[in-house]
Structure 1
Amino acid sequence: MSLLRTVNPESPADPVGLTEPSAEPRPFASRWWRDAVIYQVYVRSFADSNGDGIGDLPGIRARLPHLARLGVDAVWLTPFYASPQADGGYDVADYRAVDPLFGTLDDAVQLIDSAHGLGLRVIVDVVPNHTSDQHEWFRAALAGGPERDLYHFRQGRGTDGELPPNDWESVFGGPAWTRVADGSWYLHLFAPQQPDLNWENPAVHAEFDSILRFWLDRGVDGFRVDVAHGMVKAAGMPDIGAREQAKMIGSQVLPFFDQDGVHAIHRGWRRLLDSYEGERIGVAEAWAPSPERLALYVRPDELHQAFNFQFLTCPWDATAMRAVVDASLAATGSVGAPTTWVLSNHDVVRHLTRYGADDYAKGLRRARAAALLMLALPGSTYLYQGEELGLPEVRDLPDEARQDPSFFRTDGQDGLRDGCRVPIPWEGDRAPYGFGSGGTGEDTGTGTDTGTSTGTGTDAGTGSGTGSWLPQPASWAGLSVAAQTGAEGSTLELYRTALARRKELPGLGDGGMEWRPSPAAGVLDFVRPGFRCLLNTGTEPVELPTPGRLLVTSADLAAEGGTLTLPADTCTWWAIP
């Protein structure tokens, strides 16, 4: 009997990505967005250049070589615009200015230029559903100016207008309306500091056209459209007649989300994007109640991609996974668009923890296997920073460290988003693990090669330094970039290997796939040109004929003669004739 492993590609001399690769940058491909691997950077948690504990644009620029070596095609940056930071920058006060927390406009331009020099495209967030309450428009609206028509102000109900205009609830909890000094109410589907814009006013359209052009002129390759399903509200703003409306998002059409009117906005933006050279793209963050509704956002004259949240929320079950894959491919294929696949982002519990709960080892096995499944499917994939390191959700953050507005508005909601936003570890055996010095001058070592990652992701309040805006677990030393680089079997090397193979194999990326009959319950089996993928979601190993030449495996395999034993929670890639 032999034990099969994938062979890691040659590891770089610089494990933490501070030196640009010596190789020539990869040329930009045409129609690149149809099968791109796009890496999401949560700006304040990626890399801190000045020791204030908050990630910034110069820090990201310094770490871009890590992303180039990882093998991704593009980087998506969360908002870095001027903001009071009531919701992590998604409350924008000035869309054309960089918040001093993150750097300067010149830093942003240099980051874009450096990324392009490494063969990486840059996608930035645009937040069109709402502004900050500190935006000049809203300040003028509160003062009674004509800018009030740029938002949704309404008179309240009740004897003296003391009740909100309707029963809509904020996604962050509580009512979606706040009363102001003159007795009127304004709509905010998120935090009170994020008043919703009125897209029936032509001035709003004109302003966002100008904002998009501002950043396109500075070289960005596209926009991730925040709340792309939310800008248009149903006529008359009718009551919903139900509570806990946030739980209904993505399961049914609501009068404030997924209204048909949003598509006219996106068609206008597509025309604007197409007027620029270089295949600039729009990506919809759209929660839709069905794959068919989601496909409307990526019709040929609308946006290029839409996040596939059905895949993200799918349980660890072969039947459910196959159903989601089939429905997703059918829906986007009906309009000629690629499907996107994503497992984690800055708004959800990391998939390792979703798959394993308190069992880190089980969650890691499943997360590694899910990554290979995702990267083998037709279309484009999104990676969330730190998933290539096997980072879990941090679930024991102290209350005093939390900053997510939903935590405070729901009277102690269990860490909806802070736990996935903890800064990532780069090197060293103590927090902040090379994220930033935090002014201590410590933690500049290269880390210890531990061979495999065994961190549990717990004890966030123990052993953590003060060098990051959210405390990092003491157990993350073994999960750092430096610790995993060159370590056989590490999650980082698995991602590097898989991304390299994905680029080498002409059958991966865009194109079709074909399911094969499952060799056992809980096993997914599909082929693409010259390629076969097998995933065992069951609890027991499965024996089957060796499919071909092993390319990548998420766990060690046992093989004897022509028989392969596929362990539980394992995904494998094979080269076939």
Structure 2
Amino acid sequence: MTHKWWQDSVVYQIYPMSFQDSNNDGIGDLPGIKQRLPYLKKLGVDVIWLNPIYESPNKDNGYDIADYEAINPMYGTMADFDQLLEATHKSGIKLLMDLVVNHTSDQHRWFQESKKSQDNQYADYYIWRDPVDGHEPNNWGAAFGGSAWTYVPERGQYYLHLFAPGQPDLNWENPDVRESIWSLMRFWLDKGVDGFRMDVINLISKPAGLPDAPAPANYATVEKMVADGPKLNDYLHEMNDKVLSHYDVMTVGEMPSSKPEDAIEYTGLKSNELNMVFQFEHVSLSSNPDKRLGKWNDAPVKLTDLKRALSRWQVELDGQGWNSLYWNNHDQPRAVSRFANDDPKYRVRAAKLLGTTLHMMQGTPYVYEGEELGMTNVHYTSLDQYEDLESINSYHELVDENKFVDGKTMLKYLANVSRDNARTPMQWDAKENAGFSKVKPWFALNPNYTEINVAGELEDPESVFYYYQKLIALRHDSELIRYGTYEEIDPQDAEVFAYRRHYEDQTLLVLSNFTDQTVTRDYDQANATERLIGNYEDDQGTTLRPYESKVYVFK
């Protein structure tokens, strides 16, 4: 099989607002990213992915785009972008843009024209429906709370927005919409960008007739109805035919609710659509029995559930599709807090354990900014500390309106899984504002930046940073790690995540103790050729110490 460059790559995700401020306005920017390219080169990543940097009113932190071909002034200018792209390529690193085309901002020119009347050029660029008995066209709930419909008196109709009211959904049934999207994609690809991460791309094809959702008609129910809609394949095929196939690029589609068989259909190694998907199975795990609360909980993730989710995708995509490997991103809490242990006693080993467990799997790994430092959740304790629309709206809906949960408990849930945990500024050093800016940042720093920061980790040869650097280098050097098939071991083991990888005449054995206890496991590691990497200096064979992770090679 011919392997593609994106199968051999490691991607670093940058949340621009929080990465590096270069002009001291408290907001990260494009020149700030350019300034930090040597750091990314030192880490060893091959690709950077930027969250949206387009013109936007920022009702959802840039995922409401007002102009796809303009840079948001708070990040800089188009000249700044061109310089960043050139510098990135000179560093030997590729650059992915975030493509958000399920919806636009309500400030986008298309929507401003569309809402004026039912008979203008852009009238059908969005999903409009007449009222039904004086109310919304159906019972759908939106992702950030409330109805998925908003009424516009000028048209006498409602428009659909699966997310915030400021994010109207595009009407992909309209060929003019699709041609407009192909045009904006070519704009960036002709500049030289190396591909796209596509936001909620499997929601673009809505079910015929937009029927009511079964109760409860909240967003979780609606998403299952909308995901992987009837024309998604057609749209992605057309996107590939008209645009992607003409460039050597990498594409990853964010696809909530998708299953492995869906991913193979849209991204299979023999398909002509996308390269890989972001699936949500492992990051959506919850032990919370109260379904009314959706994702909000503070229950620890059961290791057996985590193993089942990750192993399922490894096994079912092997030889047919390609996995994206990630623990966290801008929409997920910090991995060491969510899946392991951020107690200072264990944090470093726990962060290394997570890195080992994921980077030894088959697929393209994604490192979210600060993950390579073992950054933790911020552990806020009051609602006024939050910026995230989803977190704030969910608190008001679940606590104030429906009274499903008390405020104190909900704040514990926010502290565990709010998106804001990932959005605190990058921790560069222990000085004022963590080296992110010389002025107060747009969002409060995690107070532990004095203990967890780049400067400190670069001085410590045993740091999380250098461990991630080694993981990335090992992947670059090993076809066994990149391409080997996956074999699950002891799926019912509630303490240790163990698996093997096989390639030609070699076998990789990965052992990770997800507990703070010492345990014993014998998988014939005494007969291994070598211990490839481990988060303890020495190796005690069948003994696995608290949060110990180690990898063996058999030849």
- Common fold by TM > 0.5: yes
Q: 2:278 aligns with which of 298, 307, 315?
A: 307
| Deviation of the 1:45 alpha carbon | 0.7
Most deviating of 318-327 and 495-504: 318-327
Partner SS, residue 435 of structure 2: coil
Q: 1:100 aligns with which of 73, 78, 81?
A: 73
Match of 1:552 among 519, 526, 533: 533
Matches within 5 A, 1:153-172: 153-158=128-133, 161=134, 163-172=135-144
Q: Which amino acid aligns with 1:293?
A: D
Distance 1:536 1:402, change over 3 A: closer
How far is the alpha carbon of 1:358 from its aligned partner?
Answer: 7.2
Matched residue, 1:270 = 240
Which has the higher mean CA deviation after the structures are superposed, 306-315 or 114-123?
306-315
Alignment of 1:410-429 (within 5 A): 410-412=394-396, 414=411, 415=414, 416-429=418-431
Say which of 542, 567, 570 aligns to 2:545. 567
2: distance between equivalents of 1:331 and 1:249?
26
1:331-350 to structure 2, matched below 5 A, reads 331-333=316-318, 336-350=320-334
CA drift at 1:109: 1.5
In the alignment, the residues of structure 2 paired with residue 318 and residue 525 of structure 1 have an alpha-carbon distance, to the nearest angstrom, of: 14
Q: Aligned-pair RMSD on alpha carbons?
A: 2.5
Mapped pair 1:147 → 2:122: yes
| Aligned amino acid, residue 61 of structure 2 | G
- Pick aligned residue for 2:172 from 189, 199, 214: 199
The runs of 5 or more residues in structure 1 that have no matched partner are: 1-28, 439-465
Amino acid at match of 1:107: D
Instruction: State how many pairs are aligned.
Output: 509
CA shift for structure 1 position 428: 3.0
Contact (CA 8 Å) 1:81, 1:92: kept in 2 or not? yes
2:173 is paired with a residue whose SS is: coil
**Percent of pairs with identical residues:** 33
SS at match of 2:89: helix
Alpha-carbon deviations, 1:144-166, whole Å to 9, x = none?
234221111112222xx2x2111
1:535 aligns with 2:509: no
Pair 1:292–1:132, CA change in 2 (3 A)? same
Match of 2:313 among 315, 324, 328: 328
Is the alpha carbon distance of 1:36 and 1:309 closer, same or farther for their aligned partners in structure 2, counting shifts above 3 Å?
farther
Which of these residues, 474, 479, 485, is aligned with residue 452 of structure 2? 479
| Structure (1/2) with the larger helix percentage | 2
SS in 1 for 2:509: strand
Who is 2:148 aligned against?
Answer: 176
SS at match of 2:210: coil
Cα displacement string for residues 333-389 of structure 1 (whole angstroms, at most 9, x for unaligned residues)? 36x321121100111112212125774545654332121011001111111111111
470 and 555 in structure 1: CA distance in 2 versus 1, 3 angstrom threshold? farther
Instruction: Tell me if structure 2 keeps the 8 A contact 1:47–1:59.
Output: yes
Cα distance in 1 between the residues matched to 2:145 and 2:20: 31
Q: CA deviation at 1:244?
A: 5.8
Q: Does 1:226 align with 2:199?
A: yes
Query: Contact between 1:258 and 1:287, CA under 8 Å: does it hold in 2?
Result: no
Q: 1:232 to 1:518 in 2, by over 3 A?
A: closer
Contact 1:372–1:572 under 8 Å retained in 2: yes
Which TM-score applies when normalising by structure 1?
0.82
Q: Which runs of 5+ in 2 are unaligned?
A: 286-299, 397-409
1:143 shift after superposition: 1.9
Aligned 1:72-83 pairs, distance under 5 A: 72-83=45-56
Residue in structure 2 matching 1:505, options 478, 485, 506: 478
The 1-side partners of 2:304 and 2:114 are apart by 52
| Contact 2:383/2:392 (8 A) holds in 1 | no
Which residue of structure 2 aligns with residue 377 of structure 1? 361
1:288–1:294 CA contact under 8 A, matched in 2: no
For residues 242-261 of structure 1, the C-alpha deviation after alignment (integer angstroms, 9 at most, x for no partner) is: 226333477xx31x322131
Q: Distance in 2 between matches of 1:361 and 1:296?
A: 44
Equivalent of 1:355 in 318, 339, 347? 339
1:408-452: per-residue Cα shift (whole Å, max 9, x none)? 43344754322210011112333x1111212xxxxxxxxxxxxxx
Structure 1 residues 184 and 242 mapped into 2: Cα distance closer, same or farther (>3 Å)? same
Give secondary structure in 2 for the equivalent of 1:382: strand
Maintained 8 Å contact 2:311/2:488: no
Quote the Cα distance in structure 2 between the aligned partners of 1:126 and 1:515. 35
What is the deviation of 1:176? 0.5
> Is 1:286 aligned to 2:258, yes or no?
no
Partner Cα separation in structure 2 for residue 357 and residue 238 of structure 1: 44
Partner residue, 1:240: 213
8 Å contact kept, 1:178–1:187: yes
Q: Which residue of 2 aligns with 1:3?
A: none
1:171, 1:190 within 8 Å by CA — same for their partners in 2? Answer: yes
Q: Residue type matched to 2:429 in 1?
A: E
Match of 2:296 in 1: none
Contact 1:164 / 1:177 at 8 angstroms: preserved in 2? yes
Residue of structure 2 equivalent to 1:296: 265
Hey, what does 2:288 align to over in structure 1? Answer: none
Deviation at 1:139, TM superposition (A): 0.9
How big is the shift at 1:266?
1.1
CA contact (8 A) 1:129 1:226 kept: yes
Q: What's the CA shift for 1:516?
A: 5.7
Alignment-derived partner of residue 403 in structure 1: 387
- Which position in structure 1 is the counterpart of 2:404? none
